[in-house]
Amino acid sequence: MDPRSEVLLRQAELFQGSVLLAGLPADDLLGRLPDAHGWCWHAGDQAALDARFAERSHFGVNAPERGFDSAVVFLPKSKDLTDYILNALASRLAGRELYLVGEKRSGIEGAAKQLNPFGKPRKLDSARHCQLWQVTVANAPEAKSLESLAQEYELPLAEGPLKVISLPGVFSHGRLDRGSALLLEHLDKLPSGHLLDFGCGAGVLGAAVKRRYPHNQVTLLDVDAFAAASSRLTLAANGLDAEVMTGDGIDAAPMGLSAILSNPPFHVGVHTDYFATENLLRKAARHLKNGGELRLVANSFLKYQPLIEEHLGVCAIKAEGQGFRIYRAKRG
């Protein structure tokens, strides 16, 4: 059981009604709170929840339409995303209870201040290195549209400017990552056919290759519903047509690919992100056709080359700069 769920269950009598659990972990909590429903934006967690608790969790970037009497927000990593989720729920909870739970190391103490606009927050519990906060919504806000929180920037590419639209919580919100910038400079001579942008975020790589190689089929894949929604906005803003999908890891990707491009997930201490990247390197060959290529950017200190050589084939360093490397390997 996730420690945040354990903290909720210490006060289980508060959560017996129709409570909405936003950003919930894929653990047993729905089993312990029979009238609760989930709202999830992580495709892997949603698949796990669906398998165990069919129809009890809603997936997407908007709160479920079904009514709820109170809501618990599991503190997201990003402050902007927390604001969006709290606003969306508080707008529907006038006079009712909104809770925020999170780990101390994730900054729950400071994040609790984000409840101030709605009423007087109070700390209900502190245990398992987590805190649980509650506010009775005295000032229910107007719901903000997600699009109104989007940030836009423009990249001067050789083929013409590319607009990038990112939503709260999406990697490198509102600016281009340095690693992605290096990969954008090294998208030449890709095999033509079906290209995949793995871990697409706001869709900058996928949109750039579709712009550069318009006759190729391009698929963008991310585990996060806000990233997929951003990628759709980026493609639409540039009049580009490509498939965007949510799914957890390379297993969710199509087969018969000509190239996989990625600035793969990497966060110190977050085990699932290492797993997603290592799994990509191990299984890329299954998803590439003969002669297909894996091209990725990674921090120079990450030792991906041996893993790529073990599972795919000879791996060259195509470029290096500012602490990043571009790796390139072909399926023989």
Ligand X SMILES: C[S@@+](CC[C@H](N)C(=O)[O-])C[C@H]1O[C@@H](n2cnc3c(N)ncnc32)[C@H](O)[C@@H]1O
Stretch that binds ligand X, among 9-17, 81-89, 146-154, 215-223 (CB under 6 A): 215-223
Cα distances (Å, whole numbers) of residue 238 to 53, 142, 168, 213, 241: 39, 30, 20, 14, 9
Which parts of 154-183 interact with ligand X (CB under 6 A)? 171-172, 177, 180
**Contact status: 219 vs ligand X (CB under 6 A):** no
d(Cα 323, Cα 332) in Å, to the nearest integer?
A: 29
**Contact status: 273 vs ligand X (CB under 6 A):** yes
**Contact status: 327 vs ligand X (CB under 6 A):** no
Determine the longest span between alpha carbons in the chain, in angstroms. Answer: 64
Task: Give the x/- contact pattern for ligand X in 251-270, rule: CB under 6 A.
Answer: ------------x-x-----
Tell me the two tokens of residue 315. Answer: 């791996």
Interface with ligand X: number of residues (CB under 6 A):
22
> Of the two residues 135 and 223, which places its CB atom closer to ligand X in the complex?
223
Identity at 303, one-letter amino acid code: K
Quickly count: other Cβ atoms within 10 Å of residue 94's Cβ.
13
CB of 252 to ligand X, least distance (A): 7
Task: Give the x/- contact pattern for ligand X in 28-57, rule: CB under 6 A.
Answer: ----------------x-------------
d(Cα 190, Cα 185) in Å, to the nearest integer?
A: 12
Which parts of 224-243 interact with ligand X (CB under 6 A)? 224, 227
CB of 260 to ligand X, least distance (A): 12
CB of 182 to ligand X, least distance (A): 10
Identity at 100, one-letter amino acid code: L
d(Cα 64, Cα 21) in Å, to the nearest integer?
A: 11
> Of the two residues 93 and 280, which places its CB atom closer to ligand X in the complex?
280
Contacting ligand X (CB under 6 A), which of 27, 45, 97, 222? 222
Paired residues of 197 in beta bridges = 220, 261
Helices (H), 11-126: 29-32, 43-52, 79-90, 108-111
Contacting ligand X (CB under 6 A), which of 205, 244, 298, 312? 205
Contacting ligand X (CB under 6 A), which of 204, 209, 240, 312? 204
**Contact status: 223 vs ligand X (CB under 6 A):** yes
**Contact status: 276 vs ligand X (CB under 6 A):** yes
Helices (H), the chain: 3-10, 29-32, 43-52, 79-90, 108-111, 178-184, 204-212, 225-237, 271-287, 305-311
CB of 175 to ligand X, least distance (A): 10
Paired residues of 134 in beta bridges = 99, 122
Angle, helices 225-237/204-212, rounded to nearest 10 degrees:
30
Q: Are 146 and 228 in contact (CB under 8 A)?
A: no
**Contact status: 324 vs ligand X (CB under 6 A):** no
List of residues contacting ligand X (CB under 6 A):
44, 171-172, 177, 180, 199-202, 204-205, 221-224, 227, 248-249, 263, 265, 273, 276
